[in-house]
Amino acid sequence: MIDGDCFLGVDGGGTKTEFVCIDAAGTVIARAVTGTTYHLQVGVEEAVRRLDEGIAAICTALGATPDVFGFVFFGLPAYGEDRVADPLLHAACGRLLGHDRYRCGNDMVCGWAGSLACADGINIVAGTGSIGYGECQGRSARVGGWGEVFGDEGSAYWIAIQGLALFSRMSDGRAAMGPLHAIVTEALALENDLDLCERVTGPDSMARGDIAGLAELVSRAAEQGDAGARAILHAAARELADHAVALRRTLGFADAAVVPVSWSGGVLTNQPVVRETFAAILRDAGGFTPAEPAHPPGYGAALYARQIRTRSTLAA
């Protein structure tokens, strides 16, 4: 049995969705993971099915029904960007819970809430996609997150696409041959270079998350001395730093303020070259201080659910 309210946070992403439940003291009492709930990739119906699967797993672990949740925050990929899908997702979450103690928002909020423990500042997400979010004295704003077709700069998908473009230039002589060429050829088992076209965009083309996974090949090539690959990683860091600079201006931080900037997502978390260059750019810009993430996004979503419930109780 659960003694008192608990709070569920749902951190959706381009690769997976994490469900974290905490008690009133902030102790994690249940976790679950399902596949991506990025509805543009899997469809609204499948995204809802995966939310249902995760909620059911949490309830099974707790030996309870969804009514035990004092509040739930659903941080969903691309939420807030589709006037058709958003209300469908919102309504579906209510049906799954059987009550109205929940809020839906973009998954960028999970990264900020976890990294900065819901304190004022900026968080840059660089995972499959990229986006920046921050809060300052009750104001909130986002930057980026425009999707892989013409945005998501600095993300794993963006890095992968830049890497594939570099491979093509190496193949036909527009760029000097470097380690990236052999790394991509081996990883994708290419018999000839043009096989890459079929592999990425053919009838059995790679999914968004699979393409994003190729960013690791760019990092590996950079480690082996590929100057072009290393330049891609530095460019990614600059793009992500631009997100932070724009957010500081939009949120209206005081000129003298030193704004904490944290990060989440695999690119900034797992790629030292990108993270260190990103931090160096912000230090040089002035008015920022890099802040190691306090918590992962899934836990942040649960913290945010608890904060919403606390504020609503105090306001009542």
pLDDT for the residue numbered 274: 96
- Over residues 18-33, the pLDDT tens digits come to 999 999 999 999 999 9
Lookup result for tokens 């891609």 = 232
Task: Go through the domains of the chain in sequence order and give each one's CATH number.
Answer: 6-117+295-315 (3.30.420.40), 119-293 (3.30.420.40)
Helix intervals (H) in the chain = 39-42, 44-62, 85-97, 108-115, 156-172, 179-187, 195-201, 208-212, 215-223, 227-251, 266-270, 272-285, 297-315
For the chain, give the percent of residues with pLDDT over 90.
84
Rg (CA), the chain: 21
Residue type, position 237, single letter: A
What is each CA distance from 131 to 18, 43, 127, 146, in whole angstroms?
A: 18, 21, 9, 8
Is 4's pLDDT higher than 70?
no
Do 69 and 97 contact (CB within 8 A), yes or no?
yes
- Over residues 229-275, the pLDDT tens digits come to 999 999 999 999 999 999 999 999 999 999 999 999 899 999 999 99
Average pLDDT over residues 189-194: 94
State the SS3 of 95-115.
HHHCCCCEEEEECHHHHHHHH
Distance CA 108, CA 281 (A): 22
pLDDT for the residue numbered 230: 97
Count CB atoms within 10 A of the CB of residue 214: 22
> With bands split at pLDDT 50, 70 and 90, how would you rate the model's confidence at 314?
low
83: exposed, middle or buried (Cβ count in 10 Å: 0-12, 13-18, 19+)? exposed
Average pLDDT over residues 118-147: 93
Residue type, position 260, single letter: P
pLDDT for the residue numbered 1: 52
